[in-house]
């Protein structure tokens, strides 16, 4: 379990630091890349968190070592999908990411290799035109 706790801690720190550092410095908010169904999106990190009881959310999968092209995130849903919840996420962290270097969609993942965290946050997705 220590490995799982460490992965969740790293993921939580990653999300918190991105939003907090940008807000504190007055810089533009970070835009982490996210794969969804083989399409690359940029996220807009916002300094907002919520609890699962406050509404619907989508699942976001993170591998610190990266998926295809070194992108660390894959989402189950994107803008335009009927079930997309506007960038409200529940974070799941990979416990065995070695096999996912070419993954670019949830269908490429074995969800048993990901551990649920207590991280719920907001980060809307924006299409990256010309990237796929």
pLDDT in tens, 46-88: 777 777 787 899 999 999 889 999 999 999 999 999 999 988 9
> Residue 21: is its pLDDT beyond 50?
no
**Residue 12, both tokens:** 């939580």
- Work out the average pLDDT over 17-39: 64
- Judge whether 132 lies within some domain: no
Range of the domain at 88: 2-127
* Per-residue pLDDT, 129: 66
Query: What's the structural domain count of the chain?
Result: 1
For β-strands 33-36 and 39-43, DSSP reports them as antiparallel
- Judge whether 121 lies within some domain: yes
**Residue 113, both tokens:** 């290799």
């Amino acid at each position: 379990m220590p490995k799982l706790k460490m992965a969740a801690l790293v993921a939580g720190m990653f999300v918190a630091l991105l939003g907090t550092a940008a807000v504190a410095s007055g810089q533009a908010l970070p835009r982490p890349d996210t794969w969804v169904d083989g399409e690359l999106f940029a996220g807009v990190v916002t300094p907002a968190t919520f609890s699962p009881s406050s509404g619907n959310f989508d699942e976001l999968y993170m591998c610190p070592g990266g998926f295809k092209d070194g992108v660390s995130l894959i989402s189950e849903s994107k803008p335009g999908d009927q079930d997309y919840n506007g960038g409200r996420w529940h974070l799941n962290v990979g416990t065995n990411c070695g096999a996912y270097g070419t993954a670019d969609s949830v269908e490429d993942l074995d969800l048993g290799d990901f551990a649920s965290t207590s991280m719920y946050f907001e980060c809307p997705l924006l299409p990256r035109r010309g990237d796929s």
